[in-house]
Structure formats: structure tokens, C-alpha cells
């Protein structure tokens, strides 16, 4: 039986590679610089509680309704990611 630390250092790179491939498959626009700028712009603009009209107009109306109706902050971030990373 191998010691734990040897297994640990073999599993971590495989986990990181799998996570990276999974995110790229779900959100193909993550490789695009414009999509990342869109994502961070929306997060930074909405972090203080008020959002500019220009930012609201850059988001698809379907995603705006989903973001408004959900209470979970994690889901809101996922919807913002969907709106930016899926329209590359």
C-alpha cells in the first residue's frame, strides 16, 4: 500500500485537469478575454447593490429575470456566468 502523500500528489493534478475541462465544456466562452471582462464587470458593478443601466442592457432579459427571482447568491453568479460565457 502506498503512503497517503504519494496518492495525494497523483490525484490533485488529475482533479484540477478534470475541473478545468468541465468548466470549459460547460462555459466555452471562458477562454475568451471579452467574456471574462463581461463577467467581472457585472460582478464589480453589482457588488455595492446598485447596477448601472448599461450593465443591465448588456445582459439577456431571460437571465435578468432568473437572476432577479433567485435568492441564492451562488445561483446568481452562475446565471451571470451563463449570460457572459455562453454568448462568445
Q: Where are the domains of the chain?
A: 4-85
Q: What angle do CA 19, 24, 27 make, to 5 degrees?
A: 120
C-alpha cell, 16: 484540477
List, in sequence order, the alpha helices (H) in the chain: 4-26, 33-46, 53-58, 61-69, 73-85
Does the predicted model carry a pTM greater than 0.75? no
Widest pairwise Cα distance in the chain: 61
Average confidence score pLDDT of the chain: 80
C-alpha cell, 67: 437572476
Residue with cell 482533479: 15
| Predicted local distance difference test score (pLDDT) of residue 42 | 80
Residue with cell 475568451: 32
How does residue 7 score in pLDDT terms, banded at 50, 70 and 90? Answer: confident
Amino acid at each position: 500500500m502506498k503512503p497517503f502523500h504519494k496518492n495525494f500528489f497523483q490525484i490533485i493534478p488529475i482533479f484540477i485537469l478534470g475541473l478545468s475541462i468541465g468548466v470549459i465544456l460547460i462555459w466555452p466562452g471562458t477562454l475568451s478575454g471579452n467574456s471574462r471582462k463581461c463577467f467581472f464587470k457585472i460582478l464589480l458593478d453589482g457588488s455595492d447593490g446598485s447596477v448601472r443601466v448599461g450593465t443591465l442592457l448588456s445582459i439577456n432579459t431571460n437571465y435578468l429575470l432568473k437572476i432577479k427571482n433567485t435568492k441564492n447568491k451562488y445561483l446568481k453568479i452562475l446565471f451571470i456566468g451563463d449570460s457572459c460565457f455562453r454568448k462568445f
